[in-house]
């Protein structure tokens, strides 16, 4: 590792508020794409669908096929009728979830909640770490269907506009439900673009990492090594492991779509950088000085100042290169964060 004391402030940049994208573009693949050479720091400006020209036959594109659940529930206390908001974080057992409750202070064990005229009811069971609540839900039918009817997409705190179409906070290849946030680099891909990429002879490997809301948790400690990373569940299939290993062995690139895919395969790889079928929880924290075992290139969005995500991209491309590229993106009025533009670090 590089330095025993890496400061949070080393990853600060001044981001004008109006560059935070509030709405998705009509055409997913029409976002802008900033190309960043991780070795030289050189940049080029493209459109996202141009990505196909920069992928080579034999390369392996790694995508996270997690599906965001409409995890935000607005309801009332059964006793007082006061408004309450519940955010589903993690399923513990069938109908018991770890949640974030607002306002939280009064959400004590035994408190009853009601959502959607009683379609869904719940009881607070316990208070767990970081003030999260364990809640047991009661309903008729299938929980996922009730949730689909009542829940809203848990958009990041910096997006203030209402999302008109739920599918726009989902990748076109989302498959396994369990995320509280979208793997946003994947939002730029359309089915047509993926077909083009596959026709070119690029392999696509799907892994699953259920993104937790901890991904938005700010780094509070000035020495970033004191930051407590959240834990997220991931799964790598035998098929995905084989495709990634094969690309590596053939001298081709492994290109991750998003920091979540990157964290998955870096967590799953053995010391030799080989992958095997596995599932586990990861709280890997990647920052400058980290030696990458598998990944060669990364497609990612533009991240918050001082966030763990900006630290991860700095580990891959060098802090100076990343901050210079971000300054250029700000000058060129690129759109930032979940619904924003993309970057290809190669």
User: What pLDDT, in 10s, does the model give residues 121-146?
Assistant: 999 999 998 889 999 999 999 998 99
User: What pLDDT, in 10s, does the model give residues 17-76?
Assistant: 999 999 999 999 999 999 999 999 999 999 999 999 999 999 999 999 999 999 999 999
What's the DSSP call for residue 175?
A: -
How confident is the model at residue 91, as a pLDDT?
86
Token look-up 């990492």 returns 209
Task: Calculate the alpha carbon distances from 122 to 129, 131, 136 in Å.
Answer: 20, 18, 5
CA 8, 9, 11 angle in degrees (round to 5)? 80
E-only strand ranges, the chain = 32-36, 43-47, 60-64, 66-68, 72-77, 83-93, 96-102, 112-115, 120-127, 133-139, 176-179, 203-209, 232-236, 254-257, 278-282, 297-301, 342-345
Q: Is 65 left (phi over 0), alpha (psi -120 to 50) or beta?
A: alpha
Profile the chain (346 residues) by mean pLDDT over runs of 10 residues.
75 96 96 98 98 98 96 94 92 90 90 95 93 95 93 88 90 94 96 98 98 82 90 96 98 98 98 97 96 98 96 98 98 97 98
- What is the DSSP pairing of strand 297-301 with strand 342-345? antiparallel
Stated pTM of the model: 0.92
Please tell me the distance from the alpha carbon of residue 138 to that of residue 344, in angstroms, as a whole number: 45
């Amino acid at each position: 590792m590089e330095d025993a004391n890496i400061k949070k402030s080393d990853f600060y940049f001044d981001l004008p508020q109006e560059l935070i994208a509030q709405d998705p573009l009509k055409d997913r693949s029409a976002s802008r794409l900033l190309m960043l050479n991780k070795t030289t720091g050189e940049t080029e400006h493209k459109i996202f669908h141009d990505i196909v020209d920069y992928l080579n036959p034999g390369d392996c594109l790694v995508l996270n096929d997690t599906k965001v659940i409409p995890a935000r529930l607005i309801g009332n206390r059964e006793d007082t009728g006061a408004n309450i908001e519940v955010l589903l974080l993690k399923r513990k057992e069938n109908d018991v979830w770890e949640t974030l409750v607002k306002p939280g202070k009064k959400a004590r064990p035994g408190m009853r909640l009601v959502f959607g005229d009683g379609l869904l009811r719940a009881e607070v069971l316990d208070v767990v770490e970081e003030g999260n609540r364990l809640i047991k839900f009661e309903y008729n039918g299938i929980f996922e269907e009730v949730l689909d009817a009542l829940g809203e997409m848990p958009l990041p705190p910096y997006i203030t506009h209402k999302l008109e179409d739920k599918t726009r906070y989902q990748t076109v290849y989302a498959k396994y439900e369990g995320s509280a946030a979208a793997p946003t680099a994947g939002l730029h891909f359309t089915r047509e673009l993926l077909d083009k990429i596959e026709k070119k002879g690029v392999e696509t490997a799907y892994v699953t990492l259920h993104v937790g809301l901890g991904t938005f948790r700010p780094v509070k400690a000035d020495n970033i090594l004191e930051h407590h990373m959240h834990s997220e569940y991931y799964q790598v299939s035998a098929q995905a492991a084989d495709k990634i290993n094969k690309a590596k062995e053939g001298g081709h690139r492994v290109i991750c779509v998003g920091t979540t895919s990157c964290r998955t395969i870096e967590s799953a790889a053995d010391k030799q950088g080989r992958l095997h079928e596995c599932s586990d929880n990861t709280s890997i924290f990647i920052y400058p000085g980290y030696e990458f075992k598998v990944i060669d290139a990364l497609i990612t969005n533009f991240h918050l100042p001082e966030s763990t995500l900006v630290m991860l991209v700095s580990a891959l491309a060098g802090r100076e290169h990343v901050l210079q590229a971000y300054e250029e993106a700000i000058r060129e009025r690129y759109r930032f964060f979940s619904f924003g533009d993309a970057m290809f670090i190669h």
